[in-house]
Amino acid sequence: MRYNESLELHLVQFEALYAVSQVLSRSLDYRDTLREVLSILDDVAGLTHGMVSVIDADSGALMIEAVRGRSQEEFAPVRYQPGEGVLGLVLEKNRTVTLANIGSDARFLNRLGLYDPDLPFIAVPIKVAGSLRGVLAVQPGEPISGKTELLLEDRARFVEMVANLIGSSVDLALRVAEEKNSLLEERDLLRRTVRHQFGFDNIVGRSTAMRRIFDQVRLVAKWNTTVLIRGETGTGKELIANAIHYNSPRARGAYIKLNCAALPENLLESELFGHEKGAFTGAVGARKGRFEQADGGTLFLDEIGDISPAFQAKLLRVLQEGEFERVGGSRSLKVDVRIIAATHRDLERAVEAGEFREDLFYRLSVMPLYLPPLRERLEDIPEIARHLLGKIGKMQERKLTLQDGALRRLAHHNWPGNVRELENCLERAAILAEEGVIDPDLIRFAKSKVGAGGTAPAAAPAAPTGITPAAEVAAAEPLDERGRVIAALEQAGWVQARAARLLGLTPRQIAYRIQTLNIEVKQI
């Protein structure tokens, strides 16, 4: 071999080695990277029919990962066991194999129909920290002759250098892929857990009113319809919003929440729409708003009834067009977001008073859900109380029990603060229960401006003429709960509807109390 030929070969190999190192440093998609490396070996170094095999961690066999000029879909999956074929020999011996003419070797299998039997063959192990990870195989582009036979060993050393570079890249890529798969499995597990946690079976309430709500939620969750959840404070509006999102086709997307009443208008606009750098003092960089964060998912806007009329117009445009501008920006951004809104306010009255835009009201009220207050579903209290007590017990790391007398006392309160008030009441009782047993004396209600029946005085209708209100009866002669109900029934001639009005209750509430207090109804 002449000196000039050897120098020329080394210059070509140096150029190819530099190009390979650049490719390997660019991407962690190792299959695409390997195909690029094989292209460089062919185009620059004259090493054709390149192929990279990687050891399968489970079986220990060689699996074909990349082939020069073919995508992964263009060749069938092929495996080589240790000692099987020329590639299996490299796997078994963990050393380089060079053949002057591969077609003359009995171990040549050529399962992919890739190699030229008249050309030489070089197969080198791909190692990482001395551990075998795969095999790099190529063919020099010309047959071996007396003139080129000495170059085969030089080419083999060059291929070993390339294999060393590939080894580090493949190892990094495989570790990243393993961590990614681990994260994906963890994400899927969390999604299943969250979906179960916010499933309909975990929302407590078996009353007719709540079953109707669950049926409506199941129907609306399947579509991208805007939902307006209405109800008094503490009725569980956010819980229903969670159930809608996690049981919808958007469950894999982002679920972003914002309490509109918690922020002033200028901050609310920045929170929802985002801002550009320099839009206001302190805006040192661009920032995505909640709408952008929820793209492809769901945005829950709590207390939507508390936003100002000026901001209502900006929100209406997003709901109608699905586009907006960041604060300080001029470029329109388009998003695909499902809106779930909630409010405790009487929006119809706000519309009549000019405090809430009528067009925004109708845009939000595509599918309204009305959550009943707790006083209208007293039959749910035992189940809700036990559920909340389990939650409190888990937090206090002890078992809590509720006596029947305490449960009856809970059922006789009108709960102006709804489920939130019930939870606070039970937590207060649990703190006072040293032995973990909650008796009636531990059930204490927070003082509030409510009437004798536990409802606001303004909401209680006037008693019919000629009938003494139950509150006056109670003031004249202290009675227990059972006595007050019986007194009201006697005053009302045992007409339950009239007795309910005297006590400031609904007909359903007084019927439930008659049942739980074992009052025998007289027929007059």
With a CB cutoff of 8 Å and minimum separation 6, the contacts of 511 are: 496
Instruction: State phi, psi for 59 to the nearest 5 degrees.
Output: -100, -20
303 in the Ramachandran plot: left (φ > 0), alpha (ψ -120 to 50) or beta?
A: left
- The overall average pLDDT reported for the chain is 82
Q: Do domains 3-177 and 374-448 have the same CATH topology?
A: no
| Residues 367, 245: Cα–Cα separation, whole Å | 14
67 DSSP β-pair partners? 51, 70
Strands in 35-130 per DSSP E: 47-55, 62-67, 79-80, 97-99, 121-128
Give me 409's structure tokens.
């006392």
Residue linked to tokens 């690029």: 36
Torsion region of 249: left, alpha or beta (phi above 0 gives left; psi -120 to 50 gives alpha): alpha
pLDDT at residue number 517: 78
CATH architecture, domain 455-524 = Orthogonal Bundle (1.10)
> Is the CB of residue 274 less than 8 Å from the CB of residue 288?
yes
pTM value is 0.57
Tell me which residues of the chain have a pLDDT lower than 50: 1, 449-479
Nearest to 374 by CA among 205, 217, 517, 212: 205
Among 83, 13, 72, 71, smallest CA distance to 41 is for: 13
CATH architecture of 374-448: Orthogonal Bundle (1.10)
Contacts of 358 (CB under 8 A, 6+ apart): 351
CB 470 within 8 A of CB 452: yes
- Distance, CA of 486 to CA of 450 (rounded, Å): 21
Give Cβ neighbours of residue 156 (< 8 Å, ≥ 6 apart).
96, 98, 122, 124
- pLDDT score of 384: 92
Q: How far is CA 190 from the centre of its chain?
A: 8
Residues 503 and 452: beta-carbon distance below 8 Å: yes
- What does the pLDDT look like over 379-432, one tens digit per residue? 899 999 999 999 899 999 999 999 999 998 998 888 988 999 999 999 999 999
> Which amino acid, residue 375?
R
CATH of 3-177, one of 3.40.640.10, 3.40.50.300, 3.20.20.70, 3.30.450.40: 3.30.450.40
250 burial via Cβ count (<10 Å: 0-12, 13-18, 19+): buried
Neighbours of 262 (CB within 10 A): 12
Tokens of 256: 């972003």
pLDDT at 463: 35
CA 133 distance to own-chain centroid: 37
Coil, strand or helix: which one is 4?
helix
∠ at Cα 67 (18, 33), nearest 5°? 40
Domain locations along the chain: 3-177, 206-278+289-372, 374-448, 455-524
Cα gap 151→140, rounded to integer Å: 10
The sign one gets for the Cα dihedral 507, 510, 512, 514 is negative
Burial class (CB in 10 A: 0-12, 13-18, 19+), 518: exposed
pLDDT (tens digit, 9 = 90+) per residue, 160-177?
Answer: 988 888 887 777 777 777
The CATH fold of domain 206-278+289-372: Rossmann fold (3.40.50)
Q: How many helices (H) and strands (E) in the chain?
A: 18, 15
Residue with tokens 């509430």: 509
Which pLDDT value is given to residue 280? 75
